[in-house]
Amino acid sequence: MVVFTNSLNGLRIKTWARPTKGFVRGVLFQHVIMKNVQNPIVIDQNYCPGNLGCPNQDSGVKISMVTYQDIQGTSASEVAVKFDCSRKNPCRNIRLEDVKLSYMRQPATSTCNNVVGSAGGIVVPASCLKKGLVLLAKRGMGNGDEVQNKQVIFRDYYVSGLPKESDLILNAATIELKVPEGSKAVLLKNLYLSCDPSMRVRMKKLPDSASYLPSFRPGSPLYGFGVAKVLDSGHPDFKEGDLVCGLIGWEEYTIIQDSKRVGMLTKIQFTDVPLSYYIGILGIPGLTAYVGFYEICAPKKGEYVFVSAASGAIGQLVGQFAKLMGCYVVGSAGSNEKVDLLKNKLGFDEAFNYKEEKNLAAALKRYFLEGIDIYFDNVGGKMLDAVLTNMRLHGRIAVCGMISQYHNLDEPEGVHNLMSLIVKRFRMEGFVVSDYFHLFPKFLELMRQHIKEGKMVYVEDISKGLENAPAALVGLFHGRNIGKQVVLVSEE
């Protein structure tokens, strides 16, 4: 937090009113308090001291992509925000976000000359900028103009231990709202981002064979599954206005030029459900639950099913699939609130808070007196070890994830009860959902029917704003989310 007290100027950008070449671009002013400042926010593009040497001239310095975010306090003058830019070279994409400035206990005022931009959140003084982004043009919502593109950047190192918010930084870049001429690229406006535990694995430098998705590149935006709207396209399969899901950047806009990445985009055909469902119940988590339960576990009516991390994006669906099959289902979760959700909203027969259990094997024995037929494993570690001693003859374990081990990838926790595999003759199989993409149409038809008939419910935990994406992702590894963790970037 920066504080200005009784000063002449606060946040000032000043350029000469001369045909000098240059630019000011991609500036972020954030978290500032003004105390009786004469000029809290100023862009003076036509600075000409004493009116000497530059009368009637416009500045040749281009000013664009300047954001003022969370600026609070008092102004010593009535006009607290002053944007004075060139007629021939106007300031572009100037943005005010949550700016609150007063003058003598009244809202201050603002002036804008030759400036275009936007205002968001609560902005006092009432901004002379338009509400919402203005540089959107006709073709593909882009005519070559540059706009600000906020991004979540993976810092310049690989992560050890649990990820922290400081491992991710917000960046204000720029992007041209138009695909390159003659290319088959697709330009996207990102709407929803999926927070997935597997993203932790990609924060470590791994050989290509160690993961089905490559490591994140330090200094570059994160990317993962998301929902987006096509703004411009040179690809014959996509047009302006299409809604798609696939791998997109953790940023406001993404341009995809790689043919493989474009090929992974899927058009959204049905909009009678929330769009966020396409990175949840109708997306990769849903397909993962479907494949793991039906294809790997091959359930039978009346079997005993246990699901770990049962209130998460995948676990909540596995439990409901099992109930639809007529199985007895128990789930584990990390809080009493989540346990209540499993039993009273998601239909699990029983649930327990694993953090309150001193002996996991004994806890499982309490709920499964005759043993477990199916275990859907999302956590690995001590829970997996406890399950092994509680499995029934010819049971099945689908190994979907091991979130308990993602913080210690160099020295993962060992499993001790593997002898049970021989004695009980059960099967334990890991799987990667991409091997089953051919089942997606069948899965989508079934899930849409289940939703329409009210047979399935889905719980989401939605964080609003790209600036809250780091906290949302890190929260996964501390159990803060209830349901599928999603980040809302834009509501179109």
389: closest CA among 366, 362, 414, 367? 362
Cα 105 from Cα 307, distance rounded (Å): 58
Report yes or no on 460 lying in a domain.
no
Residue 159 covered by a domain: yes
129 shares a domain with 96 = yes
Q: What is the mean pLDDT of each run of 10 residues along the chain (492 residues)?
A: 91 87 88 94 86 75 90 91 87 87 85 82 70 34 66 81 87 86 93 93 72 78 95 94 95 92 91 95 97 97 97 97 98 96 97 96 97 96 96 97 76 86 95 94 95 95 94 92 95 78
| Shared-domain flag, residues 340 and 421 | yes
Residue type for position 293 = F
Same domain for 65 and 31, yes or no, is: yes
Q: Is the separation of the CB atoms in 231 and 177 below 8 Å?
A: yes
| Contacts of the segment 156-160: beta carbons below 8 A, 24+ positions apart | 156/218, 156/219, 157/218, 158/203, 158/204, 158/205, 158/215, 158/218, 159/200, 159/203, 159/204, 160/204, 160/410
Q: Are residues 221 and 332 in the same domain?
A: no
Same domain, 275 and 288: no
What is the C-alpha to C-alpha distance for residues 422 and 62, in angstroms, rounded to an integer? 72
Separation CA 343–CA 327 (nearest Å): 15
pLDDT at 7: 92
Residues 154 and 90 in one domain: no
CATH number of the domain to which 235 belongs: 3.90.180.10
Domain count of the fold of the chain: 3
Residue partners of 101: CB distance under 8 A and separation at least 6: 34, 40, 41, 71, 72, 73, 74, 75, 80, 81, 107, 108, 124, 125
| Residue where a domain stops, chosen among 134, 154, 173 | 134
Range of the domain at 120: 2-134
Structural domain includes residue 338: yes
Statement: the pTM of the whole predicted model exceeds 0.75: no
Domain boundary among 65, 99, 134: 134
CA dist 319 and 374 (Å) reads 11
Q: Are residues 418 and 311 in the same domain?
A: yes
**327 falls within a domain:** yes
Other CB atoms within 10 Å distance of the CB of residue 490:
16
| 333: amino acid identity, one letter | A
Tell me: do 269 and 296 sit in the same domain: no
My answer on whether 84 and 199 are in the same domain is: no
C-alpha span between 63 and 356 (Å, rounded) = 57
Does some domain include residue 119?
Answer: yes
- Contact between residue 5 and residue 35 where contact means Cβ atoms under 8 Å apart: yes
Which whole-number Å values give the CA distances from 468 to 169, 249, 251, 489, in the listed order? Answer: 11, 15, 12, 9
The backbone torsions φ and ψ at residue 177, rounded to the nearest 5 degrees and listed phi first, read -85, 60
Residue 270 in domain = yes
Are 122 and 174 contained in the same domain? Answer: no
Cα–Cα distances in angstroms (integers) from residue 110 to residues 3, 16, 135, in the given order: 21, 22, 21
Whether residue 189 is found in the same domain as residue 297: no
In a domain, 459, yes or no: no
Distances (CA, A) of 462 to 198, 254, 380, 484: 19, 21, 26, 8
Confidence at residue 139, expressed as pLDDT on a 0 to 100 scale:
34
Does residue 457 lie within any of the structural domains? Answer: no
Do 118 and 95 meet the contact criterion of CB atoms below 8 Å apart?
yes
Which residue's entry shows tokens 């043919």? 259
Q: In one letter, which amino acid is 306?
A: F
255 and 384: one domain? no
pLDDT given for residue 244 in this prediction: 97
Q: Helical H runs in 334-413?
A: 336-344, 360-367, 381-388
CATH number at residue 427: 3.40.50.720
Contact 137, 240 (CB under 8 A): no
pLDDT at 145: 62
